[in-house]
Amino acid sequence: MEQQAWIIGARGQQWLKALHITLAALSLGGSMVILLLLGIKLSGPRFHYDFSIDYINYRLFNGLVYYTFLGNIATALCYSLYTRWGFVRFRWLAVKWILLIALFFVVLGFFGSRINGLAGLSDSGLNHGAFQNEYNRLLLQAFFFAAALVAFFLAIFIISAVRPWGKGKRDIFSDIHKARRIILPIVALALAFGVFNTIQLNQLRRLSISPLDFSKVPDGKYTGVFEKGGGPYEVALEFQSGRLMDARLSASRQSKYVKMAEQVLQRMAEEQSLQVDAITGATTTSMCILKAAEQAIRE
């Protein structure tokens, strides 16, 4: 006789449901605030290039929407794998999963990059310069994807409340044992990749930059290279009379994040110090460029 699959008990399902709804509400709430703020930016010139709004949206997405959405996906998987609901036992559940998968691609594939790009261009001052058209394009796209995000979330809430369709057809995912054997290894691999990538990014974002005294640097031209973080990043510096007179990125990969992060060199020249804030939305690349500048002075 086939062993019966373990499922979460009634009390556990109540807690799981409460957590699932809470995470979904936080994701929806954060997305609605971002949509509202993007609408304010599009409403007129007064707030169109306001960095504070871009920064709020950046923090909302990366600190709230992103993680609560992943938590929402995780609790939905627990529901389907460890309760009797399954994936396609009911047609409305199948539709919910289709919408969740669509949300996954919108959030991770499109929306986040637009929010980060807006913050990076705004913080680096490029939203008024050569990249103004790029900024306006990202703003319109971010508004569109935010609206899609809110619409998908609302549709999922309505479907969950109304449950408009009956039972669906049985398939491979109707068998809990088979579903777990297929899905759990995929989830484990995705988690391992995500954790590894996060560790690497955090190591770069927390690079230690030495507080070197520019006034003690001999006159001359210096070149430094940093290989990690998608590099190499090659920085050229010129010192005269104990002051940094010129700082530029002489070689790097082609990327909009590099263009944004490159503005950290201007901050370094203005403050005559390596201890400057990274460019919002391009933090990792900014730290790599600063590390290349440090290498230039040390060598």
Q: Cα(23)–Cα(224) distance, rounded to whole angstroms?
A: 45
Contact criterion met (CB below 8 Å) for 122 and 135: yes
pLDDT in tens, 229-243: 777 888 888 888 888
pLDDT in tens, 239-297: 888 888 888 887 666 777 778 888 888 888 888 888 888 888 778 888 888 888 888 88
pLDDT of residue 109: 79
Q: Cα(283)–Cα(288) distance, rounded to whole angstroms?
A: 9
pLDDT of residue 175: 59
pLDDT in tens, 19-74: 988 998 999 999 999 999 999 998 877 777 778 899 999 999 988 988 888 888 88
Q: Is 177 left (phi over 0), alpha (psi -120 to 50) or beta?
A: alpha
Residue 140 has pLDDT above 70, yes or no: yes
- Entry pTM: 0.76
Residue 5: band (very low, low, confident or very high) from pLDDT cuts 50, 70, 90: low
Contact criterion met (CB below 8 Å) for 232 and 252: yes
pLDDT in tens, 163-202: 766 655 554 445 566 666 666 677 777 777 777 777 777 7
Q: Across the chain, which distance is largest between two alpha carbons, in Å?
A: 85
pLDDT of residue 172: 46
Tokens of 15: 């807690």
Q: Cα(275)–Cα(246) distance, rounded to whole angstroms?
A: 17
Residue 215 has pLDDT above 70, yes or no: yes
pLDDT in tens, 79-114: 777 777 766 677 777 788 888 888 888 887 788 888
